[in-house]
Amino acid sequence: MTPKQIETYVDAAAIALNLRLRPDHRAGVLRYFGLAAEFAAVVEAVPLDPHDETAVHFSPVPTESRE
Domain residue limits, the chain: 3-44
Q: Which residues of the chain have pLDDT under 70?
A: 65-67
Helix axes 23-44, 3-16, angle to 10 degrees: 110
pTM: 0.65
pLDDT recorded at residue 50: 81
Contact 33, 10 (CB under 8 A): yes
Contact 37, 6 (CB under 8 A): yes
pLDDT recorded at residue 64: 77
pLDDT recorded at residue 65: 65
Phi, psi torsion values for 46, nearest 5 degrees: -75, 120
Contact 33, 9 (CB under 8 A): yes
pLDDT recorded at residue 67: 58
